[in-house]
Amino acid sequence: MSQPLDYLVAEHDCLRSLCGILEHLADADDMDLADVDAALAYLRNDWPLHLADESEDLFPLLLRRCKPADEVKPLVAQLDAEHGTQVRLGRRVISGLAARVASRRPGGAPPGLRSLLTRFAQRERRHLAVETGILIPIARARLRAADRSRLTQHMAKRRAIPLPPARGKTIGDNGKAESRS
């Protein structure tokens, strides 16, 4: 987690995998309960942490550090609004998958759940493309070593991961030595 932007990109890869699982579940004639359990675990545990990493830390840091020419303010507003929409859809996905497991009936997802899983996955993939392809490169260019350190600290704290104390110089996301401040 010492490279928080790389960690966020890795989380984006996990989310893309989740989207694949959800689409597979939507198309399956018989839902694989191991896939359902994996999707539910990620949506309940990891995904909220990732959303907090971005909404509570990354987005505000970018708004402070970016130049007006970066035009990041409307992009961050769009992505933050999409987080809200995805959270609402995500709750419905969690509820639908949990109800499907609780029913203990064999077979595929009912049509409403199939549609919901597909819609969530499609929206999430578009969202991730913008974050990974546009927002993260801007963050690599604009965030300072101290910003990345703060981001790392907050992400680790959210996950109850102890970090060694920060000292001296660090290698930034741009590959150059930077002083911590």
* Reported pTM: 0.86
Give me the phi and psi of 47, to 5 degrees please.
-60, -45
Is the pLDDT assigned to residue 42 strictly greater than 50? Answer: yes
> Nearest Cα to 15, choosing from 64, 62, 56, 54?
54
Which percentage of the chain shows pLDDT scores above 70?
90
Q: pLDDT tens, 97-123?
A: 999 989 878 889 999 999 999 999 999
Under DSSP, is residue 178 helix (H, G, I), strand (E, B) or coil? strand
pLDDT band at 171 (very low <50, low <70, confident <90, very high): very low
User: For residues 94 and 58, what is the distance between their CA atoms, to the nearest angstrom?
Assistant: 26
Mean pLDDT of 78-83: 97
Q: Where are the beta strands (DSSP E) in 35-104?
A: none
Specify the pLDDT at position 107. 87
Mean pLDDT of the residues in the chain: 91
Ordered domains of the chain (ranges, CATH): 4-179 (1.20.120.520)
- 119, two tokens: 């819609």
